[in-house]
Structure 1
Amino acid sequence: MQSLILASSSPRRKELLQFLQIPFESMNSHVDENIEENMQAEDAVQELAVRKAEAIASKYPESWVIGSDTVVVLEGEILGKPANHADGKRMLEMLSGNTHEVYTGVAIIYGEHRRIFAVKTEVTFWELSESDIERYLDSGEPFDKAGSYGIQGLGSLLVKQINGDYFSVVGLPISRLARELKKMESELT
């Protein structure tokens, strides 16, 4: 693999990609992240991952490019990044005591070759008191994260149970990504 680019400036995704022990660059794709209103979460994260990867791949056609996107879904409603404190509180109140799904989509683009997939993980929250929610919001951690929480930080204290790929909830299903890259590379040689 000559050159690898992560189409993201997410510190979490960069940290996870380092597990592959392959040198890479990280670039923000600056794409429109609006999706069709009735789009299913699994389709939405794959669509957004492709948009991010394509934006970088079009500028660097000789590189392997990885795009990724993550959403939180509760009872069919996609919970993105909170717009403000009140929106974050609304989301955390919804997630309190409930099980939700986290979908992460990944797109790998190398020239004309593509591999696109999504991983779904179920996360159950403890019942949260108003003070639990306010304390977490006051930490500032929720405001750049889908569903208003980060499982890898203070948000871990909200999580009762997880069923699936932990790293997918963080933002990049690194084990599946490693296998998909290996398959794709062997198909091209």
Structure 2
Amino acid sequence: MNLLQPLLLASNSPRRKELLASLGLEFKVKVKEVPEDFPEHLHPAEVAEFLASHKAGAYADDLGSEVLITADTIVSAGDRILNKPAAYDQAFEMLRTLSGTSHQVITGVCLLSENFKEVFHDTTSVYFKQLTDAEIDYYIRHYQPYDKAGAYGIQEWIGMVGIERIEGSYFNVVGLPVQKLYTKLVELKVIA
């Protein structure tokens, strides 16, 4: 792949860095602390896009010739958005909520340059088996998923033993819808 414009990833997520690197693209990483508050009236897909766009806005004045990539992944159980848990009890309650049912993982992405702003999202449905309290406890104690929306990582132990199936992109659940991102970068002539 030929990179026609330099890429700047605004994320501290090791998973996003790994996924973007796996596309064979070179990029730099720049991270700023950006509040993740959002208007209460937004639907889950709108929240994911709002947060990705909001993060990009924090870098707008710093951009030169780069194309900035920002992303935000949320977990939606019905109308409830499950953010990153702050403590064990919150993580336990979230995983109990997801147990034996399906939920949506939505990643919003914003591509920003001097010439364009493109915001999109991808949605994956995830189906958990009925988890035991012992399984939930084991996962939280051993993996400490406090940096993960919905209190879990699909690529970790809980994903291997608890997720029965998904509908949509696996990589979207990991944190970056790489197929959609790649397609947009080609369409926008960032890569060829």
Q: Normalising TM by the smaller chain, what interval?
A: over 0.9
1:183 to 183, 187, 192: 187
Residue pairs, 1:124-139, within 5 angstroms: 124-139=127-142
Alpha-carbon distance between aligned partners in 2 of 1:72 and 1:106, rounded to the nearest angstrom: 15
Match of 1:30 in 2: 33
Match of 2:97 in 1: 94
* CA RMSD of superposed structures (Å): 1.6
Q: TM-score, normalized by length of structure 2?
A: 0.93
Kindly provide the CA deviation profile for residues 131-166 of structure 1, in whole angstroms up to 9, marking residues without a partner as x. Answer: 001001101331110000000122312211100010
Deviates more, 1:22-31 or 1:77-86: 22-31
Match of 1:4 in 2: 7
**Amino acid paired to 2:25:** I
Deviates more, 1:25-34 or 1:76-85: 25-34
Whether 2:178 is the aligned partner of 1:166: answer: no
- Secondary structure of the equivalent of 1:147? helix
Whether 2:122 is the aligned partner of 1:116: answer: no
Deviates more, 1:114-123 or 1:22-31: 22-31
Displacement after TM superposition at 1:88 (Å): 0.3
Percent of residue pairs identical? 37
* Structure 2 gaps, min length 5: none
Match of 2:150 in 1: 147
Quick check: 1:92–1:133 contact (8 Å CA) kept in 2?
Answer: yes
Quick check: 1:141–1:150 contact (8 Å CA) kept in 2?
Answer: no
**Amino acid paired to 1:161:** R
Displacement after TM superposition at 1:44 (Å): 0.8
Deviates more, 1:145-154 or 1:57-66: 57-66
> Number of matched residues?
188
Alpha-carbon distance between aligned partners in 2 of 1:38 and 1:160, rounded to the nearest angstrom: 32
Displacement after TM superposition at 1:43 (Å): 0.6
Displacement after TM superposition at 1:54 (Å): 2.5
> Once superposed, which parts of structure 1, at least 4 consecutive aligned residues long, lie more than 6 Å away?
none
Deviates more, 1:27-36 or 1:144-153: 27-36
Displacement after TM superposition at 1:36 (Å): 1.2
**Amino acid paired to 2:13:** S
Quick check: 2:73–2:108 contact (8 Å CA) kept in 1?
Answer: yes
* Structure 1 gaps, min length 5: none
Alpha-carbon distance between aligned partners in 1 of 2:8 and 2:144, rounded to the nearest angstrom: 26
Match of 2:21 in 1: 18
